[in-house]
Structure 1
Amino acid sequence: MGCCASTPVVEDELQDRIQTKKEVLQNLSTEGKADALLAMVPGRMFSNGASSNACIFTQQGRKGTNQDAMVVWENYASMEDTVFCGVFDGHGPYGHLVARRVRDSVPSKLLQFWEEHQANLGQHKPETPEHNGIAGNGVRNGAVHQNGRSTHSVNGEHKMVSTDTVEEGKEHPMFDVWKEAHLTGYRIMDKELRSHPGIDCFCSGTTAVTVLKQGKHLVIGNVGDSRAILGTKDDNGSWKAVQLTVDLKPNLPREAERIRQCRGRVFALHDEPEVPRVWLPFDDSPGLAMARAFGDFCLKDYGVIAVPEMCYRQLTKQDQFIVLATDGIWDVLSNEEVVQVVAQAPTRATAARALVESAVRVWRLKYPTSKVDDCAVVCLYVDQTFSASSESLPPKETSKPNGTHDKYLGSNGSHWERGTSVAGRSPEPQDLQASQSSGTEEISPGEPSKDFKTTKQPRKLADWLDADVKEEEEWSALEGVTRVNSLLNLPRRLQQQNPARQQHNPS
């Protein structure tokens, strides 16, 4: 009797699985066709190359699959003066898939929102960026650029003023449109990742820093710890760097306060006290090294969010170029050093590649026992003094070690990756000394994240670049440890439910 009664149940479950599989395959097929069409869009670059006003380059590190992604979309929204660009740094077992999905989807979602807004106004596109585009004077509440750096408010309230299109003290309406487009698009993007049939985003995610340039106006959106800077010149013609975004680390007072209010924990390990991380309330995992990210749904109930920090800047005649890069660049080069490398590049078309190669060389010399991180760079020139001829840059060949990204650290303090296990992490956490802030207090992080120092005598960038390093030499350094891992380990409950995942999937 029992067998007869259970047979229909088993058949129903089998039919449900078959139907679910069909739906997944159909969704993936539709998504694949959309991606194929997207790759054919004129003016859109997502692999190593250059155009007349931009160049992009990425290089795999020594930790496995390249989890960085990037995009430049010229003539964005069918407007000749508009460019969209962004970099995305994935982390976790499926971080590379998350980064690519966000790269391919976010620009289209922003564009869809923009077109819907224009349709509601009965317009197909603005007449001129000066009057209907984004405008302002580069000053926002809690975000004033000083001495080549910027201090930001993290409260999400950004007041715009303009001297040419709106009355002083009022927000420009088109900035509000793009800001709302980012907030809406990012929220929908994160929601789609949660239910994506082909990507497990529970312990995987990505950063995102994007710049929308419309005429002389910039709208910057930031989630995570990738960074955007502006290369400009002072009155004396000297180069200086202006940081456009804040690295949204868990130790920023407002970020830490939000996470703790959601029962998440923020602290740093003993052997890396300069790296605050986000942990579950019931387990010393996953140790996410950023306060905002797409994906990472194991932490979304505990304070990690995908809401972008938005800011605005109006370009001036002194502004020359914008650099967007993942933390593989910023971990070893300062803002000023990045500006110098790009400014002194042989040609504009090779500036991004020159920056990546400079960072890799510094990685190898400054941290010889550490695995070089993935690097991705977008250089967007805004001065229009001259243009590089369009060219395609072949990706530089890099050896692929058998190991994978060691983004994870077991709760007992041991690294895990495919075929390797590296001990050396302390299991005892150290409480993070982060200042608390009230719900209305504005945050001024001050200096950007400092470079980590391991040498007793600091050396200049030129010293690193002039050193004799053989490019063909293998620098996988599998015996060493990665300097900063974005994510340390899988939650214990997830490991118990999926004991084979840890050995099967790259991190």
Structure 2
Amino acid sequence: MVIFPSFLDGFTRSVPIKKEKNNKNDVGRETAEKLAKEAKKNELILSSSGTVKANKSNNLVSVCSKRGMKGINQDCLIVWEEFGCQEDMLFCGIFDGHGPWGHLVAKRVRKSVPASLLCNWQETLASTSLDLDFEIEVDRNLHLFDIWKQSYLKTYAAVDQELKLHPGIDTFCSGTTALTLVKQGEHLVIANVGDSRAVLATTSDDGHLLWDVISNQEAVQIVSLTPVREKSAKRLVEHAVHAWKHKKRGIAKDDISAVCLFFHTSTSQPINPIQVSKQVA
């Protein structure tokens, strides 16, 4: 199941949250943040250019970010394997900051969203049940999606409030996009705020390309033709840089970042339990 929601139209237009402190929520958030620190310690989190491999979920992630010609790189990204200590879960996110404080907003959102989303997902999950007697599988899938939808709405409302109250960040003239993905077993949920782009593609048994959902065939072809999957994100960024020079002559190149997630790695290549490698773009 793949669902691309359109219910998120910006951090500034989100559901209201209560201002008073909720001890239960605070404890849940602290627990989620501790899980994030532990995951980073165990090299399950990647926040710079590099690759992540894991055989428990059979995922392979290639990541690359390249600074443009407009000053500091305002792009931030994160890959969290075994999201929330769940072996079948993965979280990916790209955040494109804009404005004079965009890089700080993007970094803050990258830090806050995963832990907050995990906390809200656990709370929403606890208040409902996936063991309900659904007559057809699609009803169960929609129920699962609704849990993530409510979790995302609560998360972005909370993060939006954090940014507004942050004493060191001016969010009036600055902000960030947020393209995030959660893979839970065979389910895929994607939430997008802003103008970042997601591309979903599959290959047939004979290796020919079948692309769908996002009309970006060129990007899909570049990734599919990259011999070494670990270098796919870097190659995609390099092609984007090359295209920018030809199509936008005289315009300062923007920051360009990409995360390439392969759901099923090649069985011909041995995969260690967890491998994280970093590189400087």
TM over 0.5, shorter chain: yes
Larger relative contact order (CA 8 Å, sep ≥ 6): 2
* Superposition map of 1:435-474 within 5 A: none
2:69 aligned residue: 62
Q: Alignment partner of 1:363: what SS?
A: helix
Which consecutive aligned stretches of 4+ in structure 1 deviate over 6 angstroms post-superposition?
33-36
- Report the CA distance shift for 1:70/1:167 in structure 2 as closer, same or farther (over 3 A): same
1:212 aligned residue: 182
CA distance in 2, matches of 1:57, 1:35: 25
* Superposition map of 1:390-409 within 5 A: 390=275, 392-396=277-281
- Of all paired residues, the percent bearing the same amino acid is 43
* Correspondent of 1:76 among 78, 83, 87: 83
- Kindly state the Cα deviation for residue 238 of structure 1 after the two structures are TM-superposed: 2.8
1:117 aligned residue: 124
- Report the CA distance shift for 1:345/1:391 in structure 2 as closer, same or farther (over 3 A): farther
CA distance in 2, matches of 1:40, 1:97: 23
* Correspondent of 2:238 among 357, 360, 365: 357
1:201-243 Cα offsets, whole Å, 9 max, x none, are 1110001111110111011111111011112135875313323
CA distance in 1, matches of 2:158, 2:36: 22
> What one-letter code is carried by the residue in structure 2 that aligns with 1:103?
R
2:104 aligned residue: 97
In the superposition, the TM-score normalised over structure 2's length comes to 0.75
> Is the CA contact 1:74–1:83 (under 8 Å) kept in the aligned structure 2?
yes
2:221 aligned residue: 340
CA distance in 2, matches of 1:81, 1:34: 20
CA distance in 2, matches of 1:115, 1:42: 23
1:224 aligned residue: 194
CA distance in 1, matches of 2:231, 2:194: 27
> Is the CA contact 2:92–2:182 (under 8 Å) kept in the aligned structure 1?
yes
CA distance in 2, matches of 1:361, 1:226: 19
Q: Do residues 45 (structure 1) and 15 (structure 2) align?
A: no
Query: Pairwise CA RMSD of aligned residues?
Result: 2.9
- Kindly state the Cα deviation for residue 378 of structure 1 after the two structures are TM-superposed: 0.7
2:15 aligned residue: none
> Is the CA contact 1:211–1:220 (under 8 Å) kept in the aligned structure 2?
yes
1:230-276 Cα offsets, whole Å, 9 max, x none, are 121358753133235xxxxxxxxxxxxxxxxxxxxxxxxxxxxxxxx
CA distance in 1, matches of 2:35, 2:101: 18
CA distance in 2, matches of 1:349, 1:68: 20
> What one-letter code is carried by the residue in structure 2 that aligns with 1:394?
Q
1:186 aligned residue: 156
1:78-134 Cα offsets, whole Å, 9 max, x none, are 11111010111110010011111111111111110122234456x9xxxxxxx77xx
> What one-letter code is carried by the residue in structure 2 that aligns with 1:114?
W
1:443-491 Cα offsets, whole Å, 9 max, x none, are xxxxxxxxxxxxxxxxxxxxxxxxxxxxxxxxxxxxxxxxxxxxxxxxx
- Report the CA distance shift for 1:165/1:379 in structure 2 as closer, same or farther (over 3 A): farther
> What one-letter code is carried by the residue in structure 2 that aligns with 1:46?
S
Q: Alignment partner of 1:86: what SS?
A: strand
Structure whose CA Rg is larger = 1
> Is the CA contact 1:349–1:391 (under 8 Å) kept in the aligned structure 2?
no
How many equivalent residue pairs?
237
More helix by share: 2
CA distance in 2, matches of 1:194, 1:75: 31
CA distance in 2, matches of 1:335, 1:238: 16
Structure 1 residues without counterparts, runs of 5 or longer: 1-29, 124-130, 133-163, 245-333, 397-507
1:427 aligned residue: none
> Is the CA contact 2:35–2:85 (under 8 Å) kept in the aligned structure 1?
no
1:375-407 Cα offsets, whole Å, 9 max, x none, are 1111111123346663524213xxxxxxxxxxx
- Report the CA distance shift for 1:166/1:209 in structure 2 as closer, same or farther (over 3 A): farther
2:3 aligned residue: none
